[in-house]
Amino acid sequence: MITNLPTRESLNNVALRIYFRAWSDLLDVWTDFALMFEQTFDVGTAVKDWPTEWEDYLVAAQTDLQSISSLLQQSVELALKARVCAVSPYLLLLDSAMNLSASPKSIDFSELRTLDAVDLPGAVNTLTDQPVSDEFITAYTQLRSRRNKITHLGEAGVTMTPDELMRLAVSLYVAVWPGRQWLADRLDFADPRAAWLHDGKYTSTHMVVLHEWPAVVSLLKKGEFKALFGQEKSRRRYLCHDCVYEGDTRYAGLEKPGCGTAYLDESGTVLTCVMCGQTSKVERRKCTSCPGDVIADNGDDWVGHCHTCGEELNA
């Protein structure tokens, strides 16, 4: 018999882990540059103010960008396998040409040949009720052929830009994982090695995600932001006190106004955070430290704290 069958969840979890590895490496391409030239995470200003250096830097970044592209391909491949696996893990063995033997023995699933990457979109669209679009298949095919060139020739044969990879990364996430919460996934599927080293006092995964959040917001286009978070990019964002508390470690130095991850509902009295998913009641009155007027009123430790600047109101 075949042992250690994969599940949809196990494949998806690995796919998401690899996706956010790629994402984190991609963000580093911008933030390392911004930290060097502007000593901040303000990637937009750094790229605008140092155009010649940015061009030179991108030449040096090609190897990293190729690796990021390959990671994205690997992630999407596993996510497509997860969709097939949801119907039955045995469908992944359709082309395995397995040797059948009369003597009983167990075979580990990982030793068997699963569907080829090239056949996965077809397998998903034939075998599952969650088909992928033609547009997705075109992007996937390009990504796959580039990965093959990198694997076999050591280079992609094209010059890549971080901008192009970000457009691709967002569109792939939306196509492959519709309905999932991107920022919650970014937190849950952060680098486990780094997470192991975070003590929650000096550094934390929330800190890492909130550090990069302002850069992510500025780099995403309006339509991408809407697709990932269901909100207009231009809408005001408020601090989620719980998420900021987790991120505001001793070494964090968070720029608080940029860390907003929560949105007011239509009534203007309830906030929902796109990172932790929590909703909390607010009261509308003027803050004593900033022009904000959205104040925590959820019956917890944060009552009386401003959702704009984070400060507690003076009595």
Binding residues vs Zn ion (CB under 5 A): 240, 243, 273, 275-276, 287, 289-290, 292, 306, 308-309
The minimum distance between CB 272 and Zn ion, in angstroms, equals 9
Pick from 4, 8, 183, 24: which is nearest to 82 by CA?
A: 8
Per the CB < 8 A criterion, the answer to whether 214 and 255 are in contact is yes
CB closer to Zn ion out of 264 and 287: 287
At 116, phi and psi to the nearest 5?
-70, 150
The minimum distance between CB 314 and Zn ion, in angstroms, equals 11
The minimum distance between CB 234 and Zn ion, in angstroms, equals 21
The minimum distance between CB 243 and Zn ion, in angstroms, equals 3
CB closer to Zn ion out of 83 and 206: 206
Name the E strands within the chain: 2-3, 107-108, 262-264, 270-273, 279-283, 295-296
- Residues 6 or more apart from 302 whose CB is under 8 A from it? 241, 242, 280, 296
- Residue 195: strand, helix, or coil: helix
CB closer to Zn ion out of 57 and 238: 238
The minimum distance between CB 219 and Zn ion, in angstroms, equals 21
Residue type present at position 128: T
Per the CB < 8 A criterion, the answer to whether 186 and 206 are in contact is no
In total, the chain counts a number of residues equal to 315
CB closer to Zn ion out of 6 and 310: 310
The minimum distance between CB 113 and Zn ion, in angstroms, equals 43
Pick from 134, 118, 125, 113: which is nearest to 87 by CA?
A: 125
CB closer to Zn ion out of 92 and 273: 273
- Residues 6 or more apart from 235 whose CB is under 8 A from it? 263
CB closer to Zn ion out of 68 and 240: 240
Q: In the structure encoding, which two tokens stand for residue 231, read together?
A: 């909100």
The minimum distance between CB 118 and Zn ion, in angstroms, equals 41
CB closer to Zn ion out of 269 and 288: 288
Using only the alpha carbons of the chain, give its radius of gyration.
23
